[in-house]
């Protein structure tokens, strides 16, 4: 049985262990998948995470999603637009939460097999997900927002985060969709990604908007650490570019360190130009087919005249044109 120190029928233990959840956990223990739960290591809006140390010294994390539909009402867009789950989508609260747990399990499995640094998924039952524990001795690995690093280590973490996003996009066919310093953890000098229930495939109608938001979050966080970072559009284009040549990487590195080498801050004119360019990118759309343009022929003419619009540039980056 699941061990509790408080009253047996407490409505929830930290908001998620209702009688139905306890029955699921009891069955997992009866079948030998779990032995005990040793305490809550993380609480969140959508789920709580518990720690368990197996007899073979394998530490696992037990993620239990909260079964209130209010928690997930703003998450419908991530499921409804994902072709893998369209048929399974339901307004039923319990079905919705179970679907979310399944979605995270399948995303983690795809990522782990592709070599993305993330916890190894083990199994899920209904709204309970069991995965590899990231940490040591029952102490969860710190989130990136909580670690203290020197400049060189922050720069390396920035590089690792970029590679995670690129691996997700090209090898896993996924966009995280909620990437930030809150769901990146730091384990033995290595950045690892967690919380991927909302991650979607590139065919999701909002996938590239989600990716742009991820890029903004990553840029803002690492920029706050005082290290040189790529302009937002350059970073985004490097993530989605079908091929990443050595020349492209070198150009990116040079662009990233130009300001650092000069030792001079941007002038007001340069700042204004940068803000305008970034504003245009933030407001641009991401057409994935020529049919998505109102006047594709005119866009091609503009390209030949050297007057490429941002939307067409986005299309070119996505298609490798």
Q: Annotated active-site positions, please?
A: 178, 195
Residues paired with 65 in a beta bridge:
47
Q: Please choose, from the candidates 156, 203, 217, the residue with its C-alpha nearest in 3D space to the C-alpha of residue 175.
A: 203
Q: What is the CA radius of gyration of the chain?
A: 22
Phi-psi category of 60—alpha, beta or left, where left has phi over 0 and alpha has psi -120 to 50?
beta
- Whether the CB-CB separation of 214 and 176 falls below 8 Å is answered with yes
Measured CA to CA, the distance from residue 105 to residue 124 in angstroms comes to 7
- The CB-based long-range contact list for 53-56 (8 Å cut-off, 24+ gap) reads 53/138
Please state at what angle helix 207-223 crosses helix 151-170, rounded to 10 degrees. 170
Q: How far apart are the first and last CA of the chain?
A: 59
Measured CA to CA, the distance from residue 207 to residue 319 in angstroms comes to 15
Render 23-53 in DSSP notation, one character per residue.
HHHHHHHHTTS------EEEE-SSEEEEEEE
- Whether the CB-CB separation of 15 and 41 falls below 8 Å is answered with no
Sign of CA dihedral 222, 228, 234, 235: negative
């Amino acid at each position: 049985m699941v061990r509790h120190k408080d009253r047996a029928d407490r409505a929830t233990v930290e908001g998620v262990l209702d009688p139905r959840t306890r029955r699921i956990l009891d069955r997992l223990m009866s079948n030998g998948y779990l032995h005990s739960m040793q305490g809550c290591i993380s609480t969140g809006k959508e789920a709580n995470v518990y720690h368990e140390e197996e007899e073979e010294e394998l530490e696992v994390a037990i993620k239990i999603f909260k079964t209130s539909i209010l928690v997930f009402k703003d998450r419908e867009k991530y499921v409804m637009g994902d072709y893998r789950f369209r048929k399974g989508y339901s307004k039923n609260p319990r079905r919705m939460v179970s679907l979310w747990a399944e979605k995270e399990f399948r995303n983690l499995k795809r990522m782990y097999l592709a070599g993305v640094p993330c916890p190894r998924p083990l199994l899920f039952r209904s709204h309970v997900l069991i995965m590899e524990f990231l940490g040591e001795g029952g102490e969860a690995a710190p989130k990136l927002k909580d670690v203290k690093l020197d400049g060189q280590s922050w720069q390396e973490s920035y590089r690792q985060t970029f590679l995670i996003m690129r691996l997700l996009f090209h090898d896993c066919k996924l966009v995280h969709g909620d990437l930030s310093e809150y769901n990146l953890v730091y384990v033995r000098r290595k950045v690892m990604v967690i919380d991927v229930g909302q991650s979607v495939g590139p065919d999701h109608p909002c996938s590239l908007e989600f990716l742009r938001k991820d890029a903004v979050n990553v840029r803002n966080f690492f920029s706050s650490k005082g290290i040189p970072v790529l302009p937002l559009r350059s970073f985004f284009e490097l993530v989605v570019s079908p091929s990443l040549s050595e020349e492209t990487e070198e150009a990116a590195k040079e662009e990233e360190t130009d300001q650092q080498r000069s030792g001079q801050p941007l002038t007001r004119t340069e700042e204004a130009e940068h803000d305008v360019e970034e504003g245009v990118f933030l407001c641009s759309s991401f057409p994935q087919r020529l049919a998505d343009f109102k006047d594709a022929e005119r866009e091609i003419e503009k390209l030949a005249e050297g007057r490429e619009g941002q939307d067409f540039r986005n299309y070119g980056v996505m298609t490798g044109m």
